[in-house]
Amino acid sequence: MCNSLHSNSVPIPKTGYGWKIVNIDREGNIYAAVLHVKYKSGKDGIIKWDEKDGGFCFFLSKKEAIRANIAHVWPLNLEQKIIKIKIRYGDGLGKHNETKFIGGYSFEIALCKKFRFIK
């Protein structure tokens, strides 16, 4: 799964920058593009993974996010648009090649326990 480390995952820096593909609605609310769950953040804008295992998946490079966005046919919702948005992540867990994100393709996915959007 995209939100869990694989046995062949390798470490990433504890903090850094990456990219997420998200839906944004007319009011500016940001939703996970895959799960359609509204992101909730604290007053500091940091979104935290509350579960012990796993983490948020993201792309370490904009190029990989663009490649994934092109490869996937996202559900059409005229009330939302798909965007790639830069993030600042914390508590980086690792990275691996994910083959179950979009069938037939392999993408380098990283995981972290917290992040915030950079606008």
- What per-residue confidence (pLDDT) applies to 60? 96
Q: Give the pLDDT confidence of 51-82 residue by residue, as tens digits.
A: 888 899 999 999 998 888 776 655 556 566 77
* CA 113 to mean position of chain CA atoms: 11
DSSP string for residues in 26-51: TT--EEETTT--B----TT--EE--S
Of residues 68, 64, 69, 109, the one with CA closest to residue 89: 109
- What per-residue confidence (pLDDT) applies to 108? 92
Average pLDDT, the chain: 84
**End-to-end Cα separation, the chain, in angstroms:** 28
Contact of 3 with 111, CB cutoff 8 Å: yes
Prediction pTM value: 0.85
Q: Give the pLDDT confidence of 20-32 residue by residue, as tens digits.
A: 988 888 888 887 7
Q: Give the pLDDT confidence of 90-109 residue by residue, as tens digits.
A: 999 999 998 876 777 888 99
